[in-house]
């Protein structure tokens, strides 16, 4: 059983920054890639980024590349998403997720249904 918990959400003005953290139970990060998704109001959930400590694979959605950065904090046992130059369109509930069946590498564009563990989500609001 994998337990994921997101933290770090909040409200920020356009151009501001936030850092989200995904904490996982046990040694999850040693075996599985961790994905960040987001769900804007009234829209479908979309992938944002991914990091695998198994093979160092990673990716970013085009909409966040150059502004967001994903990394692992070994001291805190988290996978963090540093979000800079935030825009109103980044407003969403952000989720971390993983696939414990085949998920050692980051695969961009995979169906959401393939990820079997999700956190509860953290709200990010970008507004002036």
Q: Which of 57-61, 63-67, 92-96, 112-116 has the lowest mean pLDDT?
A: 112-116
pLDDT at 44: 96
Residue 10 CA, chain-centre distance (Å), reads 15
C-beta separation of 3 from 120 below 8 A = no
Q: How many residues does the chain have?
A: 128
pLDDT, tens digit, 9 for 90 and up, residues 39-80: 999 999 999 999 998 899 999 999 999 999 999 998 888 999
Residue 91, pLDDT score: 98
Instruction: 67-72: list long-range contacts, CB under 8 Å, 24+ apart.
Output: 70/36, 72/29
Which structure tokens are listed for 54?
């198994």
Mean pLDDT across the chain, nearest whole number? 94
């Amino acid at each position: 059983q994998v337990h994921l918990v997101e933290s770090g959400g909040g409200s920020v003005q356009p151009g501001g920054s936030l850092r989200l953290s995904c904490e996982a139970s046990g040694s999850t990060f040693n075996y599985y890639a961790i994905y960040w998704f987001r769900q804007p109001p009234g829209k479908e959930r979309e992938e944002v980024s991914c990091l695998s400590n198994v093979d160092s694979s990673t990716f970013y959605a085009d909409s966040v590349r150059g502004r967001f950065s994903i990394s692992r904090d070994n001291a805190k046992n988290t996978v963090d998403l540093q979000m800079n130059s935030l825009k109103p369109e980044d407003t969403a509930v952000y989720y971390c997720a993983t696939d414990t069946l085949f998920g050692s590498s980051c695969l961009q564009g995979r169906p959401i249904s393939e990820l079997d563990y999700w956190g509860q989500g953290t709200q990010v609001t970008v507004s002036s």
